[in-house]
Amino acid sequence: MGCFQDLRRESYKLSTNLCVFVSILGFLLVLGLGIFISSVAYLHKYDKDPVYPSPEMLKESVSGDFTSQGIVTERMIQMPQSCSDIAGCGGITKDGEYWLYPAATNGKRVKIYCHDMQRDPKEYVTLKYENFFVQHDSSNWISKYKRCTSIFRPPLKKAVFLKVAINIKDMSVNGTDYTFAVRTGNFSLPFGQTTDCAGEINFVRKTCPRFSGAKINTRGTGMIFDPTIVFGRVGGYATGILDFQRSADGAEVSFRCGGWCGKCGAVEEEMKFILATEAVSAQPVICSVK
């Protein structure tokens, strides 16, 4: 009798342990299955190709950067950094003003004019105010090698830039792109330079008339030229910069040049745009979300 009681007791313990083991195993299987299903759902939800933002995603913000808009989406957003990006994101072929987010501005947006979108997209900055440069060289002499001549042979060479070409990778100016420049005579100077060929800058020639001139004005673009750029003599005999002025905010620069023959402008430096503090407005980039 005692032997049967012991067998029943051991059998009960075995069945109890087996039930506990089965319960734990079942719980672990259910938990693992739940985690697997959640992971698959998460990957399906977020593992998608990068896309460009829709117009709604690119509405203007106060600070002018994308992250401050607080946009949360289920897809990775790829911001257009060049006009080629704009053309490629949705088959856009219309020239015009667009917001770009170049690496050179740390992703902060800049208003850029995209030109030749159907064939070879290029970036330009639209200049709202007059930007002009005068080229007074030896072709303007009334008499060969005659200094301090107050009369010049017309037309005086001059260029007025309505837009200036840039390299979007570093925001530097391509000064010899005259696509949007109105030129008088055979003007051949880069954006930002002026020349004078009236006479040397010295005591004897200090009263020579000067026909050179340069004016830079980036107001309304949201950008200025790097204020560390030094303007002065670029080349020529007895040459010097005259009447140099730069506004406190860096948006306006003007100067003249004197020399025989002399050239003045940015000294041994590229002219590069940086962001200004002024606010500008433009149409958002139009890219479709795929």
109, 60 Cβ separation under 8 angstroms: no
Task: Look at residues 80, 106, 123 and tell me which one is the last residue of a structural domain.
Answer: 123
* Nearest partner of 195 among 143, 146, 157, judged by Cα: 157
Domain that holds residue 268: 127-275
Phi, psi of 188 (to 5 degrees): -140, 10
Do 91 and 154 fall into the same domain?
no
Do 101 and 159 fall into the same domain?
no
CA distances from 35 to 42, 45, 282 (A): 10, 15, 47
Report if residue 42 sits inside a domain. Answer: no
pLDDT at 38: 53
| pLDDT greater than 60 at residue 36 | no
CA distances from 133 to 10, 125, 161, 189 (A): 105, 17, 9, 8
Q: How far apart are CA 290 and CA 286, in angstroms?
A: 13
Do 76 and 131 fall into the same domain?
no
| pLDDT greater than 50 at residue 46 | no
Do 171 and 243 fall into the same domain?
yes
Report if residue 154 sits inside a domain. Answer: yes
What are the pLDDT digits (tens) for 91-136?
Answer: 788 999 999 999 999 989 999 999 999 999 999 999 999 999 999 9
What are the pLDDT digits (tens) for 180-221?
Answer: 999 998 999 999 999 998 888 875 556 788 889 999 999 999
Identify how many contiguous H helices and E strands the chain contains and give both numbers: 2, 16
Do 87 and 201 fall into the same domain?
no
Task: Look at residues 123, 153, 169 and tell me which one is the last residue of a structural domain.
Answer: 123
Report if residue 280 sits inside a domain. Answer: no
CA distances from 279 to 60, 61, 139, 276, 282 (A): 11, 10, 43, 8, 10
Do 132 and 261 fall into the same domain?
yes
Task: Look at residues 93, 123, 153 and tell me which one is the last residue of a structural domain.
Answer: 123
Report if residue 181 sits inside a domain. Answer: yes
Total domains present in the chain = 2
The amino acid at 260: W
pLDDT at 216: 98
pLDDT band at 285 (very low <50, low <70, confident <90, very high): low
Do 132 and 216 fall into the same domain?
yes
Mean pLDDT of the chain: 77
Q: How far apart are CA 192 and CA 256, in angstroms?
A: 11
Which residue in this structure is represented by tokens 């950094």? Answer: 81
Do 59 and 134 fall into the same domain?
no
Q: How far apart are CA 126 and CA 97, in angstroms?
A: 9
H or E element at residue 124: strand 122-126
pLDDT at 126: 98
DSSP 55: G
pLDDT band at 80 (very low <50, low <70, confident <90, very high): very high
Q: Which residues pair with 224 in a beta bridge?
A: 274
Do 115 and 135 fall into the same domain?
no
Do 170 and 69 fall into the same domain?
no
156, 211 Cβ separation under 8 angstroms: yes
Report if residue 224 sits inside a domain. Answer: yes
Do 186 and 246 fall into the same domain?
yes
What are the pLDDT digits (tens) for 138-158?
Answer: 887 777 777 776 666 677 899
Q: How far apart are CA 112 and CA 82, in angstroms?
A: 9
Report if residue 215 sits inside a domain. Answer: yes
Do 174 and 257 fall into the same domain?
yes
